[in-house]
Amino acid sequence: RKKQSSKTAQQGEVETVTRRKVKRLLSFQRYCHASRLLRGLVPHTPRSLHLLDDDYLGQAAHMLSKVGTWNFDIFLFDRLTNGNSLVTLMCHLFNVYDLIHHFQLDMVKLNRFLGMVQEDYHSQNPYHNAVHAADVTQAMYCYLKEPKLAEHLSPLDVFLGLMAAAAHDVDHPGVNQPFLIKTRHHLASLYQNTSVLESHHWRSTVGMLRESGLLSHLPADMSRDIEQRLGSLILATDINRQNEFLMTFREHLDNQDLDLQLASHRHFILQIALKCADICNPCRVWELSRQWSERVCEEFYRQGDLEKKFDLEISPLCNQQSDSVPAIQIGFISYIVEPLFEEWHRFTEPSLLSQTMLDHLHKNKANWSSLRCAHTPSDVQSRSQAEEPEGEVGEGSDIP
């Protein structure tokens, strides 16, 4: 009994040490070592555009003139803006929609808020970083321009859609919810193992809104309403709620009972639009889509490596020895992306953009299928880039 008790105690001690190490490694404040209040209220300002060469500024401005096209290259735009793509894009879109004037926003506070959001994305993450946020925001802009939707949107709808897109993954740690739960991370406890990351993204956004004072000039009930609606949008991106939203969307379309004159129905469509924007990578042209696919799989593999390091069970899709990029992408497209975008296609009746997105989706799925057949497990283990499939690269039109 003493031996068994001693063994149990040792196991418990090992588990405690492991959890402590993981918690320290994944601490959400590991980059700042203290709260914002302790660091002072003024965050580091993003690198300003005036530091860039005039030629780069010109190219960035030219790209912004085509920000509503579906083949917009967010990776190039991020390089041209010196890693400042999210702030630059949001300021531009706020001007496009005249939101600054409509809501009487203070430009200093707006720039401060956007800078805080951009900074709180972890640049170390291969996928869940500020470039992903900018990409989702650009996609959301394309969806807000859809003829079926655009004529019904109020300035508040547009404001909420763009803000939620920009902040929907803020302070993402680069690991998923099951990882946080099994390592007993404090966020999992705080949000009771439900929509853990999405709740954290939302509450972080609310904290930055209040700290920046962006909405402080608005009536208290209005600012609270905006915070709650932002939460409803961001929480909708929880992949565990995919079927819930898909079924509701499908029922509305089957019954033809969507009334975009109703604020509640417009909000639901904004939720669907944000969900589409969040997972639209497989609907982009191949050379952009592929980069995103490799990035998200690299982030999965890093989580798997971390789990292996701490003797945890490796999560699904996170084992680089057995989960290849093509296999992961084919499953993701088949079970998550295709069903949602087919319904979005119905909703738009269909639009040129939605047809183009489906075309890219089907071509990209075929590309991944050919790559899965062509490469061996050793190629997966090395994480090397596969060769481009012939005849598929760069296909697709410039969709307005």
d(CA 171, CA 196): 12
Rounded Cα distance, 124 and 131, in Å: 12
Task: Judge whether 278 is annotated as a binding position.
Answer: yes
Q: What is d(CA 196, CA 181) in angstroms, rounded to the nearest whole number?
A: 9
Give pLDDT < 70 ranges for the chain. 1-53, 375-400
| Predicted pLDDT at 56 | 78
Tell me: is residue 168 an annotated ligand-binding position.
yes
The CATH homologous superfamily of the domain defined by 11-375: 3'5'-cyclic nucleotide phosphodiesterase, catalytic domain (1.10.1300.10)
Annotated catalytic residue: which of 33, 62, 102, 128?
128
Please give the Cα distance from 90 to 164 (Å, whole number).
11
Residue 257, annotated ligand binder? no
Closest-CA residue to 281 (of 340, 214, 349): 340
The two structure tokens encoding residue 149: 């939707």
Q: How many C-beta atoms lie closer than 10 Å to residue 228's C-beta?
A: 12
Please tell me the distance from the alpha carbon of residue 13 to that of residue 15, in angstroms, as a whole number: 5
* pLDDT score recorded for residue 53: 62
d(CA 360, CA 282) in angstroms, rounded, equals 7
pLDDT at 33: 32
User: Is 11 labelled a binding residue?
Assistant: no
pLDDT at residue number 395: 38
pLDDT of residue 57: 81
Q: Given this model, what pLDDT does residue 343 score?
A: 98
Q: How many CA atoms lie within 13 A of 329 on its CB side?
A: 30
Catalytic (active site) residue 128: yes
pLDDT of residue 55: 76
Report the Cα 22 to chain-centroid distance in Å. Answer: 24
304-317 confidence digits (pLDDT tens): 999 999 999 999 99
pLDDT of residue 323: 98
Q: Report the pLDDT value the prediction gives residue 47, as an integer from 0 to 100.
A: 42
Enter the tokens of residue 11. 């196991």
pLDDT of residue 6: 58
The sign of the torsion formed by the CA atoms of 206, 207, 212, 218 equals: positive
Alpha-carbon distances, residue 31 vs 35, 40, 186, 310 (angstroms): 10, 15, 17, 22
